[in-house]
Amino acid sequence: MTTLTGAHIVLESLLAEGTSVMFGYPGGTVIPFFDAFSDYKTLHHVLVRHEQGAAFAADGYARASGKVGVCLATSGPGATNLVTGIADAYMDSIPMVAITGQVRGDMIGSDAFQEVDILGITLPITKHNYFVEDARDIPQVMKEAFYIAKNGRPGPVHIDIPTNVFKQQVDSFNYSEKINLPGFKIPAGTDDKTVTEVVNLIKNSQKPVIICGHGAIISRAEKELRELAVRSHIPVVHTILGKGAFPESHELSYGMLGMHGMAYANFAVHNADLVIGIGTRFDDRITGSLDTFAKNAKIIHIDIDPAEIGKNVKPYLPVVGNIKDVLKQILEVLPEKKHHDWVGEIEGWTRTYPLSTKDTHRITVPKMLTELHKITEGKSIIVTDVGQHQMWTAQYYPQDESNKFLTSGGLGSMGFGLPAAIGARFARPNEEIWLINGDGGIQMNIQELMTIVQEGLEIKIAIMNNGFLGMVRQWQELFYDKNYEGTPITSPDFSLIAQAYGLNHLRCEKPSDIASTIKAARDMKGTVICEFLVEPEDNVFPMVAPGKGLKDTLIGK
């Protein structure tokens, strides 16, 4: 390397941050970046087929690894194609650095070819964003971007770099190990008075429930969460993104709550006298109607982000701090306690309102997932797209470990699954990965199958083919008098799609063939597309209807 350019400085900074893989797509303003890339053999660039795939793949990589995901696109349409993936990472608190090229600095504001104000567009969906005017600022910008993305409440950071800055020659590369962001303060633990109040509330409670959210996973507080629940004998329910933080096989685990949560989880929260929310936003999908949410309960809300405290549900006791640190403080002084009567009451609801798979001559998604869980012993990394299959997967594939259920939560982005599974494969190269998708979701970013082929990846893809956009159809059936406008969807012949991409394809039409299809897919090397023809008008239950509370959970039609 004879000279250093801004592009080299970006790449050197990525290596200094421990980045080994990034996902992107080239274009005019980032050609200097790719020109410099050939000098860096230890950094792998994954060429996606659409920039949205790059953002979702970086997102999936970050979820599966706990590291910062990195994606890159050119200016204009390349940059705007990243937006949905950036917004998804923002909603779900996923650490990501998104780098975009920009037109030359002297052309900005002239409506130049492929110019767009991407900084203005990403401002509401990032933790922070940067516009780099001088290549000498790149090391500091990159250092700050990675620090902000992964510290405190994680999230995406966007860096916009004009093409002339990529080309600018720089004398040397100096990457500081120090960071100085006076306005960016990260809470640690909480004060002793608050800890005492938490302990007293737990001691005086007869019907406590823990709601475990994504924040428990982000702060790596799984051990402390389990000890808190066991020592005080407190039932645990989780949000969809909190899945796996507390082992679902544990006797105190009562599954997911909310719109499509277990009925017994919802009833437990509704009847509780103390709700301990740990790293959850108390969003509408878990609370239902706020007018009736846990009205008999005092609510403790523990979260690192003070902006979340009281935003949706007003807590009796707010606790701002790093969850792992706060739980450690509580455990230092928390005595043992038993709640046999309360746990027994919830156990009664599990017997009265169990999850069940109905007998039909057609395949149902719950049947398929129950068999998959049995065959894989619940140890696979599961990635989903968005829709009915996503909710069924959260219900019927229990997880005992965190970061092994990857799904788009807050934004609910269809098209997430396939590229996110690609990112997860790079993060966890030695683990079995199953992508559970719908016939609608798979077609959103189906072009990323070629990324899988080019990279030689192994992902088992299960397509739940019911001929509908299932979740919207379900609402149309239940609330719009079966007016199925816009939801019937046709699909290509997935066997020919697989053949075109050089992949294996299996088709399952009968419930009796589910197990053999799954086993055959596992025995095949490389990526396999498994197509399951499922019951067209099956619905996800339990369900809390719009405007209703957890107490109104529907068990069926």
- Domain residue limits, the chain: 4-170, 192-352, 365-533
Residue carrying structure tokens 């428990």: 216
Query: Can you tell me whether residue 322 is helix, strand or coil?
Result: coil
- Give 477: exposed, middle or buried? Use CB within 10 Å, 0-12, 13-18, 19+: middle
**Fold of the 365-533 domain:** Rossmann fold (3.40.50)
Is residue 3 very low, low, confident or very high in pLDDT (cuts 50, 70, 90)? confident
pLDDT in tens, 215-268: 999 999 999 999 999 999 999 999 999 999 999 999 999 999 999 999 999 999
User: One fold for both 192-352 and 365-533?
Assistant: yes
Q: Which of 7-11, 36-40, 62-66, 456-460 has the lowest mean pLDDT?
A: 36-40
pLDDT of residue 273: 97
Are the beta carbons of 99 and 157 closer than 8 angstroms?
Answer: no
Are the beta carbons of 71 and 82 closer than 8 angstroms?
Answer: yes
**Fold of the 4-170 domain:** Rossmann fold (3.40.50)
pLDDT of residue 2: 61
Q: 16 pLDDT exceeds 80?
A: yes
Are the beta carbons of 70 and 158 closer than 8 angstroms?
Answer: no
Q: Which of 46-50, 153-157, 183-187, 390-394 has the lowest mean pLDDT?
A: 183-187
Helices then strands, each counted (H, E), the chain: 22, 20
| Span 355-379, average pLDDT | 92
The model's pTM: 0.96
Residue carrying structure tokens 């950036």: 86
Each residue of 266-277: b (16+ CB within 10 Å) or e?
bbbbbbbbbbbb
Are the beta carbons of 153 and 214 closer than 8 angstroms?
Answer: no
Q: How far from each other are the two terminal CA atoms of the chain, in whole angstroms? A: 68
| Span 202-206, average pLDDT | 97
* Angle, alpha carbons 485-489-494 (nearest 5°): 175
Tell which residue, 187, 190, 244, has the closest CA to residue 212. Answer: 244
Are the beta carbons of 368 and 510 closer than 8 angstroms?
Answer: no
Q: How many CA atoms, within 13 angstroms, populate the side-chain half-sphere of residue 163?
A: 23
| Span 500-506, average pLDDT | 98
**pLDDT higher at 333 or 105:** 333
Distances (CA, A) of 512 to 362, 371, 373, 489: 10, 11, 16, 26
Helix axes of 192-204 and 323-333: crossing angle, nearest 10 degrees: 60
- How far apart are alpha carbons 327 and 224 in whole angstroms? 6
pLDDT of residue 182: 85
Share of the chain above pLDDT 70, in %: 100
Distances (CA, A) of 300 to 278, 297, 335: 8, 9, 18
- How far apart are alpha carbons 29 and 514 in whole angstroms? 49
| Span 499-513, average pLDDT | 97
pLDDT of residue 556: 85
- How far apart are alpha carbons 432 and 520 in whole angstroms? 14
Residue carrying structure tokens 């969807």: 489
CATH architecture of the region 192-352: 3-Layer(aba) Sandwich (3.40)
| Span 438-446, average pLDDT | 98
- Give 107: exposed, middle or buried? Use CB within 10 Å, 0-12, 13-18, 19+: middle
> In this structure, how many other beta carbons lie within 10 angstroms of the beta carbon of residue 457?
17
Tell which residue, 140, 176, 131, 179, has the closest CA to residue 158. Answer: 131
Is residue 356 very low, low, confident or very high in pLDDT (cuts 50, 70, 90)? confident
Query: Can you tell me whether residue 192 is helix, strand or coil?
Result: helix
Q: Is the dihedral of CA 20, 24, 25, 31 positive or negative?
A: negative
- How far apart are alpha carbons 134 and 480 in whole angstroms? 56
Return the structure tokens found at 193. Answer: 């008075």
Is residue 29 very low, low, confident or very high in pLDDT (cuts 50, 70, 90)? very high
Amino acid (one-letter) located at 476 = Q
Q: 447 pLDDT exceeds 60?
A: yes
Is residue 439 very low, low, confident or very high in pLDDT (cuts 50, 70, 90)? very high
